[in-house]
Chains A and B, each alone.
Chain A
Amino acid sequence: MATVHIPTLFAQAALEVSGKKIDTITGQTVIAKLGLDSVAVMELVAHFEEKLHIRMPDEDLAKVQTVADLGNLVKRLMPPGSEVTW
């Protein structure tokens, strides 16, 4: 059974994609306000997809605003029984 902590994964992804160390990520963090450009954000999404073996549909991503929203989306896409926290 997989356990995923979204803020940790998010910070790892941001570091890999943009070289930025962001250490204050919580569920309330608004992704658009992190100063990542639109390309970096999509690369970050790719990072999540690769790590978790999921596919996030574009139309669902359009509605994601906060890290918690992302968490909810991930939770919905992960196999049942997986533990997703933020």
Chain B
Amino acid sequence: MSQWNAPNLIAAIDESKGLTDKGYTFLDRDQKELFFSWDDLRAEAMKRAAHLRKYGLKKGDRVAMVLPDGEDFVPTFLGAIWAGLVPVPLYPPLSLGKLDSYKDTLVAILNKAEPTYLITLSKMQQVLWAGLTHVKSLKGVITAEELKGPAPEGVSQDPAQVSDDDLAFLQFTSGSTSTPKGVSVTHGNLRANAHAIMVDGLKTDSAVDHGVSWLPLYHDMGLIGFVIAPMFHKVQVTFIPTMAFVRQATLWLETIHRVRGTITFAPNFAYALATKRTKAEQLAKWDLSCVKAFGCGAEPINSGTMRTFVETMSKAKLKPEALLPCYGMAEATLAISFIALDETLSTDVVDTEAYQKQRAAEPVHVSKLAEGKAQEFVNCGKTFPGHEVGIFDDQGNRLGERKIGEIQVRGPSVAKGYFRDPDATERTFGGGWLKTGDLGYLANGNVYIVGRKKDIIIINGRNYDPQRIEWLVDDVAGVRKGSSVAFSKPGASSEELIVVLEARTASETELEALKESVKQRIVEQMQLTPADVVVCPVGSLPKTSSGKLQRSKTRQQYLDGTVGKEGNRSLGSNAEKVVLARHVAMSLLGRSRHRARRIAEHALEVKSVTDALGKLKLAGDYVSNRIGKLF
């Protein structure tokens, strides 16, 4: 039993008083450390809460946060919580040429969340301003630099009073741009999920455990897993900037080795990347025997990737049981199930025939895999005490052991719904169960995920998960990894399988040979012949802002006969420059408009002619100054 039993996050922050030996350490890009003890974090939260209250912010008001670095993000987030505000963490602009789509997403999210203020770095302001005038609710921008300053006089630093049902923060999921959905996470949800993760799942001990994370803090796994849950249970954490990990993936394992980390989590792709980038001399130097949990979740787990990681890192003394596949989603706060700490990665090998036709997972011998007659699924463990996982068919009937259907969850971690979106809330949270949209089954209480419900391909009465077909295609020599899409289209007698992929081919013969190998691979492994294989130029398939291929959009383009054409349409540098120029212009306009609004507000208070002239001159100086600087 954990010695920490704070009823909510504010109380957990308050329990930090006087604890000066451990806390959160933030590495910067040069690996310089910035340490905040628990006690420092509490003091920072109080101070920043006072700053925020000075702006007139009060309990329940939303504040958007675009803060890329942990040392700014974490104390500010805790300060907003301390003041009873509802932080809305947002991802910072992605690098290299994605600014336009970023701005659209940002504005859509802000208009849904309706924050009163946006907190960001002063250097980010200019990049963000272009979109902000489209957000009516915003009164202005607060800079992180300002929050660092000494607490304002005469403003309360007392903790807000909250109940379990009060909103703690909004977690926006990576849904579509036009209709972003913010998960309403309550204070009760946070306590329940923090307990599930830190006590039931990881059995943490604050004297021993040490988390290491490079996960983005605007994402549930990074924020709840490494900021909120560890604050509740006082587990120290070392944070690596996400961009530093991406730039140099081995920094993750290097840091674990150096600080003797015991707990870390990452999605599947990070394990692949870390394995690829690790060099022999690093393996010889590292000792990863300290790690008790290498959590893997947030995207489909590829058993091959994980086995390669375990095998490679065994040379660095990694214990195989440290690998911890898990299942979760933002709508359930974060975690839904973990495998036990002493278990290692395990998979279930089931009969393909029964899987595709009867929607049942019948275990068969592993040798059937090589014959292409079986499917392999990763065991994601059991759900936590007080929580329940059920499998349901489309009619809402609960299914039994090893029957495949939609995974649904209930319990204290399931969020309240989507913020100001009753229809979507009813669809997903209605009826007392959270409908995850994932297909899977239960065996001995363990959760197995087979795919996403909306993507499932049904051909001749058989069910196929596109992800599995795409993984097969990825293995074919010449195919760009992670750049294939499988979907179905109506055919003569049944749906037909279509595969679209990106590759570089030099000649017609090479192109035909590649198509043939892809078909061959799918036939061998799935006993399914694709009706069409389309090879497109590299970079031409539609992607989401996070770089994932968009299945439904690719399918639509295929049906419209436009797939792969986008990349060929050469925009030329001028078109791109126009986009950028528009940005700069919008940014300027946005700033001047805001400034004008502020001046107008001030003008109402003008007491004398001199005062008015002074204010106008200030405005003029500002505008000429900005324009002079930018052009």
Contacts and interface: CB of A to CB of B under 8 A. Distances in A.
Contact of B546 (A34, A38, A57): A38
A33 B539 contact: yes
A38 B547 contact: yes
B502 A42 contact: no
A59 B482 CA distance: 28
B539 A65 contact: no
Contact of A39 (B273, B540, B576): B273
Contact of A58 (B95, B99, B102): B95
A29 B572 CA distance: 8
Interface centre among B123, B126, B537, B539 (most CB of A within 10 A): B539
Interface in B253-282: 269, 273
A32 B543 CA distance: 11
A11 to B, nearest CB: 14
Interface stretch (B152-160, B243-251, B409-417): B243-251
Interface in A4-62: 20, 27-28, 30-39, 41-43, 45-46, 49, 55, 57-59, 61-62
Interface string B572-608: 1100110110010000000000000000000000000
Nearest to A26: B573
What is the size category of the interface that chain A forms with chain B? Answer: 20 to 34
A74 interface: no
Given A30-B573, A32-B97, A35-B483, A58 B68 contact: yes
Name the prevailing secondary structure of the A interface residues.
helix
B269 A59 contact: no
B95 A66 contact: no
Contact of B96 (A27, A61, A68): A61
B247 A64 contact: no
Given A65-B576, A65-B580, A43 B247 contact: yes
A58 B92 contact: yes
B249 to A, nearest CB: 8
B576 A59 contact: no
B567 interface: yes
A41 B547 CA distance: 11
B571 A42 contact: no
A32 B96 contact: yes
Given A59-B124, A65-B579, A68-B573, A38 B94 contact: yes
B623 interface: no
Interface centre among B92, B504, B538, B572 (most CB of A within 10 A): B538
A58 B121 CA distance: 12
B534 interface: no
Nearest to A29: B573
Contacts of B148: none
A55 B29 contact: yes
Contact of B567 (A35, A57, A69): A35
Contacts of B576: 30, 65-66
Contacts of B99: 62-63
Contacts of A59: 93, 121, 123-124, 126-127
B521 interface: no
28 contacts: A27-B573, A30-B573, A30-B576, A31-B96, A32-B97, A32-B98, A33-B539, A34-B538, A35-B502, A36-B539, A37-B482, A38-B246, A39-B273, A39-B547, A41-B95, A42-B243, A46-B247, A57-B123, A58-B68, A58-B95, A59-B93, A59-B127, A61-B96, A62-B96, A63-B127, A64-B95, A65-B96, A65-B576
Rank and list the top 5 A-B pairs by shortest CB-CB distance, nearest first: A35-B539, A35-B538, A46-B247, A61-B95, A62-B93
Given A38-B546, A58-B93, A65-B579, 4 more contacts: A35-B537, A39-B269, A42-B95, A62-B95
